[in-house]
A and B are shown apart, each in its own frame.
Chain A
Amino acid sequence: MDLYLIRHARAEDREIGRGDAERALTRDGKKRFQRCARGLERLGVGFDRIHHSPLLRALETADLLVPLCDGETIVTLHLARAPAQALLDELERSCAQLGASGVDADAARIALVGHEPYLSQLCAWLAIGWRVFDDPEQAGLLQLEKGGVAHLSGDPRPGAMTLRSLWTPAALREIGKR
């Protein structure tokens, strides 16, 4: 499968009296991420399914990716917390469902829209095979910027995926311009 880990776009600052989950994308964050989405489109990236965290900034980012998606969007709690086996199980199920609906399960394209540091932890876990970010000294080794995208391929199991590309939002916007 092709897995795209996508960090939400720029959101409003934290404010007293408003929960972290309710932080929406800023107007500029939306605009910039639309250009990132255009960059992804230019690169020929598309999705069969988008899983996203329930936090407002992630679901608004998922909304901006819908034009690239041929299938469903699915909200999941597993993307709002540190990566765990439950998330990988959900990916397996998603792949099987896509397979049953006629999509080649080996070539399924799934986007995960979520947050840091969870996405880079997931990326490392899937590509290297161990939870390197459990070690605080290793934190920051890999980090997705807001609106950044990591592309992996392979089976969604620890150590069974290959990191194919890592796109910064600036690079995607630049590609989107051309």
Chain B
Amino acid sequence: MISPSHWLEHLRNHLAVARAGDDPEGVHQLRVAAGRLSVWLELAGRRALRDDLAWLRRSASGVRDLDVLLARAKNECGKLGEWRGWLAAQRDEKRVQLVRVLDSPRLAALLAALSTLPPLAPAEADARLACFSRRVRRAASRLRAGAREEEKKHDAAALHRARRALRRWRYALEWTGADASEIKRWQEDLGELNDRAVLLRHLDASPIAAQLGELREETVRQLDARGDALYKRWRKHGRRSAR
């Protein structure tokens, strides 16, 4: 039987770390645990609680994205140092919102509800695996179609959908004990692409965006190059992985 208890425990353990805010790993692991539990619910054919987990994940994502950017920009100075300060202020704002979520009765109710769930029969989980890979194929073809059109080349929504589908598929495979190493590699590659898309979004949103043109150009170049390489590789090997 497949019990969600390990990842529920993982979630509980990282709530305090995320609330304290000293270690970015707390927020990261909170997101991971919420994502894995959401996939477990889908494998169990349950719909309730998935919106609550998505709400928790969303609340943590804003902080996580900015933590990653800040870690990369930690030695920047001059204009980029100024931009880093803006990022830190944004992250602090998101952290306040996250702490509110962590202290909310909704989270207490979510944890209480998750702890009532009985384990899931492996055959039931196996029967639902195909939905996850179908979603990956659909998201990948949309991403590829978008990449052919210049104006949709950096379609963050399509990239987000593809990453989400891949991540959920990997978690689904891992819950059932199947080998997910190939999917994990695809997920990491897409993650790197996404990091650049997030960077681009935060460069464009910055109040000193006009002065960060050089970094923006470099980011766009990297996005294009990595994106093209990834699409080519997907055409060659990816469809096989998604079967």
Contacts and interface: CB of A to CB of B under 8 A. Distances in A.
A76 B106 CA distance: 6
A55 interface: yes
Interface string A44-80: 0000001010111001101100100000111111100
Contacts of B50: 73
A56 B52 CA distance: 15
B48 A77 contact: no
A22 B108 contact: no
Interface residues of A, number: 22
Given A54-B112, A55-B116, A74 B106 contact: yes
B34 to A, nearest CB: 14
Given A59-B48, A63-B47, A66-B47, A75 B113 contact: yes
Contacts of A55: 113, 116
Counting chain B CB atoms within 10 Å of each CB, the highest count among A21, A54, A55, A75 belongs to: A75
Interface string B44-79: 001111111000000000000000000000000000
Contacts of A59: 46, 48-49, 113, 116
Contacts of A21: 112, 115-116
Tell me if B's interface is mostly helix, strand, loop or mixed.
Answer: helix
A78 B51 contact: no
B41 to A, nearest CB: 10
B118 interface: yes
B110 A75 contact: yes
B109 interface: yes
B117 interface: yes
A123 interface: no
Given A21-B112, A54-B109, A63-B46, A74 B52 contact: yes
A56 B117 contact: yes
A76 B117 CA distance: 16
Interface in B114-149: 115-118
Nearest to B44: A63
A24 interface: yes
Interface string A2-24: 00000000000000000101101
A85 B115 CA distance: 26
Contact of A75 (B47, B106, B118): B106
Contacts of A78: 105
Interface residues of B, number: 18
A26 to B, nearest CB: 13
Nearest to B111: A54
A77 B51 contact: no
A34 to B, nearest CB: 13
A76 B111 CA distance: 11
Nearest to A20: B116
A54 B113 CA distance: 4
B48 A75 contact: yes
Contacts of B118: 22, 24, 56
Contacts of B48: 50, 52, 59-60, 62-63, 66, 73, 75
The 9 closest A-B pairs by CB, nearest first: A54-B113, A56-B116, A72-B51, A54-B112, A59-B48, A75-B109, A77-B109, A62-B48, A66-B47
Given A63-B46, A77-B109, 20 more contacts: A21-B112, A22-B118, A52-B48, A54-B112, A54-B116, A55-B116, A56-B116, A56-B117, A56-B118, A60-B48, A66-B47, A74-B106, A75-B48, A75-B49, A75-B109, A75-B113, A77-B105, A77-B108, A77-B112, A78-B105
Interface of A: 19, 21-22, 24, 50, 52, 54-56, 59-60, 62-63, 66, 72-78, 86
Interface of B: 46-52, 105-106, 108-110, 112-113, 115-118
